[in-house]
Amino acid sequence: MADNIRKPIPKNQRDISISKQDAFLDSNPNDAVTPLPQFVNPNTPPQNTSYRARQISVKDDTTRPFTVGIQDIDESINYYFENVIRPQVYQNGTMIDIPIIYGNPERWKAVQKDGYYRDKNAKIMAPLIMFRRTGMEKNRSIGNKLDANNPINYAVASVGYQKNDTYSNFDILNNRKPVESYQVVVIPDYVTLTYDCVIWTYYIEQMNKIVESINYASDSYWGDPARFKFLARIDSFTNNETLNQGEERLIKTNFSISLNGYIVPDSINKNLPSANKIYSKGKVTVNTELEVTPGAPLRSSGASGAAAPPTPSFDADYQAVLDYATTQGYTLPSSGQQILQNQLVVDLKDAGVWSELDTFGVFATDGDSDFALIDWIRLTDYTAVNSPTFVTNSGYLGDGVSACIATGLDLRDSGLNWNDTNGGIFGGYFYDMGTSGNYNLGTAADTYLRDRRQPRVDTKIASVAAVLYTNSNPIIGNLAAIRENSTQISVFNNETIFRDSVTLNVDSTSGSDLTFLAFSNTGIVGDDSGISIGYAGGIKTDSDYLALNTATQNYISAL
């Protein structure tokens, strides 16, 4: 019977590995909801502290985990010597660069023994600069990660554009904000490092030049601007002269560098407490609803039987523009463009700009030319004088002679946001700056904004002119004059300010009605530029103008 007993078969490596595998540790990682306590069952709390939502893949990620090591700090010293200080001396009538080398133990021992450094051919190397790190001390007065194995102090830095951050007109129509990527970095260890440096030259005159340049670089940030920079301090220099019989004549100077640095090691314990990468929340805002009555058939369009799109809900002020146009019999913009125009009004209101406007006309539309002439603030019509050309989705184009758009708005009227004492704005978004250099807009002879194409821009209030020179001709976009108060004016082209707070010493804007594309509403000295949006009102601060600029730029770019 003993011969029939089956002998045990030893397990191979695969069997041993399979026996050790477990699908989950303690529990399912998806049940470990420590970061989300509202979903935890208090009667059976999970034991596993992992959280799969924080396990973010870094596949195809071009951003390396952030680390700063001692070698990075050493390299910043070498970089600054070679690329910023760039020590040079005259040797035998030739300007030569001084070599910079790191004093590893073998080199430093040879220097301490002989007093100088020899190359592989046993020739004394001079001129030469050698440095080495001699110590490192922790600086606890700046910051602390609290616990090296559980660092809870960290910083978050935004990462540049990623392929997942694409942004299209669809996103604008649906109020979708792109997801942003962030890199999470623990608070570093702040340290003070010391370096001993030695300079050798043949002549005192050579040494003087080098010491002067290095001393001047003290108390500045050393390093590569594209990587890391650290504050370096040099307190003193010690000079020695060697002139012994039968030996080379050498001049030597010793000095020390005290450098304030920081260290983020490439070690596992700094990655334990949190993810290295996080994303912002993706958000889609739905502004439309489809209401269906049970048992009632869906409205269909065409033979396909597809449900008709729901009617969007617009801001009351933009809806008033559509209602006015419908009453007048004008052709409305397309449904997609109505959403964009409504968003333009919403953006202006969110920025607090809409209530400051006295007139606002959107000429860039796919509605008809009559709809393009509506004043969205006063709900009246502008007048096209001498037939300016209407271009769909661009606006009105002047002829450089007399074609213009008369607003019928006199900035002197009481009750307006514009005020001679407190100031205001007049300007527009121009899709074509033209070539004539005539008047982009004005109120007859005493108030205007003019692109002179020289390159310069003229602005004038009450017959007092300010010539605003620029580095280049104004480019396509917003061109606006902001009257900050009764005596000062600034002119912008998009985000660029041509001249800030120019004193005009006037307190009146006397003139005729505000006119776009010409000097006055009679079509005098018309410009051949093209205008997409025109406006005027009580805006008198740079920040409000920049908000107006952003809103109009977004609308035009979405067309």
Q: Is 179 exposed, middle or buried (0-12, 13-18, 19+ CB in 10 A)?
A: middle
d(CA 249, CA 336): 85
Q: Do domains 70-263 and 316-558 have the same CATH topology?
A: no
Three-state secondary structure call for residue 9 = coil
pLDDT at 363: 96
Domain range summary for the chain, segments of one domain joined by +: 14-55, 70-263, 316-558
Three-state secondary structure call for residue 251 = strand
pLDDT at 368: 94
| CATH C-level class of 316-558 | mainly beta
pLDDT at 503: 61
Partners of 360 in the β-ladder: 535
Phi and psi dihedrals of 547, rounded to 5? -65, -40
pLDDT at 264: 82
Hey, how many other C-beta atoms are within 10 angstroms of the C-beta on 250? 21
d(CA 421, CA 461): 13
pLDDT at 53: 56
SS (H, E, C) 27-88: ECHHHCCCCCHHHCCCCCCCCCCCCHHHCCCCCCCCCCCCCECHHHHHHHHHHHHHHHHCCE
First to last CA, the chain: 93
Tens of pLDDT along the chain (559 residues)?
A: 455 666 677 777 777 776 665 544 444 444 444 444 544 555 555 555 555 555 566 566 666 667 888 888 999 999 999 999 999 888 888 888 888 988 888 888 888 777 778 877 778 788 889 999 999 998 888 766 655 555 656 666 666 666 655 666 666 666 666 667 776 777 788 899 999 999 988 888 889 999 999 999 899 999 888 888 899 999 999 988 776 666 667 888 999 999 999 888 876 555 544 556 656 666 655 555 555 555 555 444 444 444 445 556 899 999 999 999 999 999 999 999 999 999 999 999 999 999 999 999 999 999 999 999 999 999 999 999 989 999 999 999 988 888 889 888 887 776 688 776 667 888 899 988 777 766 677 776 555 555 544 444 555 554 444 544 444 567 788 888 887 776 777 788 888 876 665 665 544 555 567 888 887 766 567 778 899 999 988 888 888 999 999 999 999 999 8
Amino acid at site 227:
R
d(CA 492, CA 494): 6
Cis check: omega of the bond before 474, within 30 degrees of 0: no
CATH number of 70-263: 3.30.2000
Instruction: List C-alpha distances in Å: 57 to 49, 60, 154, 163, 228.
Output: 19, 9, 20, 15, 27
pLDDT at 277: 61
Instruction: List C-alpha distances in Å: 138 to 43, 70, 72, 323, 494.
Output: 46, 13, 17, 71, 49
pLDDT at 361: 95
In this structure, what token pair is assigned to residue 458?
């003229």
Three-state secondary structure call for residue 429 = strand
